[in-house]
Structure 1
Amino acid sequence: MANPNDMTFMEHLKELRSRIIRMFLFTGIILVCCLPFTNYIYSFISAPLIELMPAGSSMIATEVTSPFLAPLRITIYSALIISVPYFFLELWGFISPGLYKKERAFVGPLILTSIVLFYTGIVFAYFVVNPIILGFFMSSAPDSIQVMTDINKYLDFVLKLFFAFGFAFEIPVATFLVITTGLVSKDRIKNMRPYLIISFFIIGMFLTPPDIFSQLFLALPMWLLFEIGLLVSKDEKN
């Protein structure tokens, strides 16, 4: 690979384009590998709702193409989620040649932490948040209502949760970067804490399904993760 300091702006763009193309190709390969397991993936994702539905109830498809497209869509998103480490690997390959040795030692673990936190957010959403929210809604349904959820609506619900929590769990990394790089001082971040906490609840309102429980389950961990990021961060001058 050419020395990044000797590369022109257009050469940097060409390299970035090549890496993005490789990302798409890698995701495509993962998708092809996942296609034989489409029904299993769909069953796994829908299991929390199926287990909570009353006896005699089932999920329904209100559109002609839904029985085919809904499982395929969740498989595509699964391929994207599985490909996240490779995305970060390509990102590392793009930025690492331009970093000093000290910066590489700093950025490398940070990228690894970002990957772990992203998957932790998804796991938290699936195993903790999703069952609690679904359990509340199923138990609060009047006896006169037969619960038969549309598969597309359910997938929209869980996918929104997965990505919302996956990205929300990156807050410690973002906080650490902002303070460590000197972009904003730690004292100023502390002074901004009340406004940031309010913003977490606003973000939770927009990123989660329209219910107070989903919003709280996102906003409160964001607050906690922000405090963790604040705790482990040090100002550049320190």
Structure 2
Amino acid sequence: MPLDQEFENEEEEGSEGTEMSFIGHLEELRWHVIRAGGSILVFAILAFVYIKEIYQYVIIAPAKPDFWTYRMLCLLAEKVQYEDLCIKALNFKLQAIGMGDQFTMSMTSSVIAGLVFAFPYAFWEIWRFIKPGLKPSERRQARGAVFYVTMLFFSGIFFGYYIVTPLAINFLANFTLDPTIINEFSISSYISLVSTLTLACGIAFQLPIVVFVLAKVGVLTPAFMREYRKHSMIVILIIAAVITPSPDIYSQVIVAIPLFVLYEVSILVAGRVEREKLREEKALANRTGDL
């Protein structure tokens, strides 16, 4: 939890201040948002400076048959003796239709890259605003929030980029209604697909954090999540089928496994919150009894 530890003292000092007015809170929130937005802008400018390298080695990479994911699928295909898993060619070309398409996409991609790389700092700024309003016990339970949220976000980003996006590109690129139809996709369509799937996975991987918050307010319990585990498996399989248009079961299982793991981790998180609540209630009852 390096990022949390680095700013722990500053956060504790800010939490000891006197109560602020509503306007004061709005003013403080404004500056946190400005600093978070400024960090995104700085990283977006840096990304724009190196936009050609980013396109060559990151954005366009999943459109090439020698991409890491496709090579790993070919190795897996050899081991399971299922040749359809191996992706040897992607039947499409990218093109810029409008005069300003390439420049527009470079700007859009820079902003997306800035958002991704600035995420840890931007979230930390928002967390600095939220944390002073929590109870001491809630702060203890939420210790390391910046670290865990960032770790889950980037895990989702990598999962979306290396697993979900290549599988979707492969299916859509090789799906044809007639052999005479040539797939020539616009660069804007391609960027939209890559960014949407990648960012969506980054957000989806925040499930344990969402469960933590819902468990704190009493909406979710570990017992409820265990009771509906089978139902959740069906929902996860449906989500995996939607995320991966490819009809083969291997691709869907590859996507579903991390979602199953996230659900089980979420049950553990809800259980921890419930135990902490019971501990606090027991301590409160003991204090009341002493009085």
Q: Following TM superposition, by how much is the alpha carbon of 1:28 offset from its aligned partner in structure 2, in angstroms? A: 1.3
Q: Following TM superposition, by how much is the alpha carbon of 1:185 offset from its aligned partner in structure 2, in angstroms? A: 2.5
Aligned twin of 2:59: 45
The structure with more radius of gyration:
2
Q: Secondary structure at the match of 1:228?
A: helix
Structure 1 residues 159-198: aligned runs within 5 Å: 159-180=195-216, 182-193=218-229, 196=232
Cα distance in structure 2, aligned partners of 1:10 and 1:192? 44
Q: Following TM superposition, by how much is the alpha carbon of 1:102 offset from its aligned partner in structure 2, in angstroms? A: 4.2
Bigger mean CA deviation after superposition, 152-161 or 67-76: 67-76
Q: Is it true that 1:82 corresponds to 2:117 in the alignment?
A: yes
Q: TM-score, normalised by structure 1?
A: 0.82
- Please point out which of 168, 171, 174 is paired with 1:136: 171
Q: Following TM superposition, by how much is the alpha carbon of 1:104 offset from its aligned partner in structure 2, in angstroms? A: 2.8
Aligned twin of 2:148: 113
Aligned twin of 1:59: 94
Number of aligned residue pairs: 233
* 8 Å contact kept, 1:117–1:166: yes
Aligned twin of 1:104: 139
Bigger mean CA deviation after superposition, 130-139 or 156-165: 130-139
Identity over aligned pairs, percent:
26
- Please point out which of 12, 25, 30 is paired with 2:25: 12
* 8 Å contact kept, 2:211–2:266: yes
How has the CA–CA distance of structure 1 residues 15 and 198 changed in structure 2, closer, same or farther, with 3 Å as cutoff?
Answer: farther
Q: TM-score, normalised by structure 2?
A: 0.68
- Please point out which of 162, 183, 189 is paired with 1:147: 183
- Residues 14-65 of structure 1 deviation map (CA, whole Å, 9 limit, x = unaligned): 10111111111221122222211111222221211133435xx631112221
Aligned twin of 1:32: 45
Bigger mean CA deviation after superposition, 141-150 or 67-76: 141-150
How has the CA–CA distance of structure 1 residues 34 and 145 changed in structure 2, closer, same or farther, with 3 Å as cutoff?
Answer: same
Aligned twin of 1:230: 267
Q: Following TM superposition, by how much is the alpha carbon of 1:181 offset from its aligned partner in structure 2, in angstroms? A: 5.2
Cα distance in structure 2, aligned partners of 1:5 and 1:205? 52
How has the CA–CA distance of structure 1 residues 34 and 24 changed in structure 2, closer, same or farther, with 3 Å as cutoff?
Answer: same
Aligned twin of 1:95: 130
Give structure 2 stretches of 5+ with no counterpart.
1-13, 66-88, 280-291
Give structure 1 stretches of 5+ with no counterpart.
none
Bigger mean CA deviation after superposition, 221-230 or 27-36: 221-230
Structure 1 residues 183-222: aligned runs within 5 Å: 183-193=219-229, 196=232, 211=245, 221-222=258-259
Q: Secondary structure at the match of 1:83?
A: helix
How has the CA–CA distance of structure 1 residues 2 and 140 changed in structure 2, closer, same or farther, with 3 Å as cutoff?
Answer: closer
* 8 Å contact kept, 1:19–1:90: yes
How has the CA–CA distance of structure 1 residues 104 and 40 changed in structure 2, closer, same or farther, with 3 Å as cutoff?
Answer: same
Cα distance in structure 1, aligned partners of 2:235 and 2:30? 34
* 8 Å contact kept, 1:41–1:75: no
Cα distance in structure 2, aligned partners of 1:110 and 1:2? 16
How has the CA–CA distance of structure 1 residues 2 and 169 changed in structure 2, closer, same or farther, with 3 Å as cutoff?
Answer: closer
- CA RMSD in angstroms, aligned pairs only: 3.0
Cα distance in structure 1, aligned partners of 2:132 and 2:216? 21
* 8 Å contact kept, 1:5–1:98: no
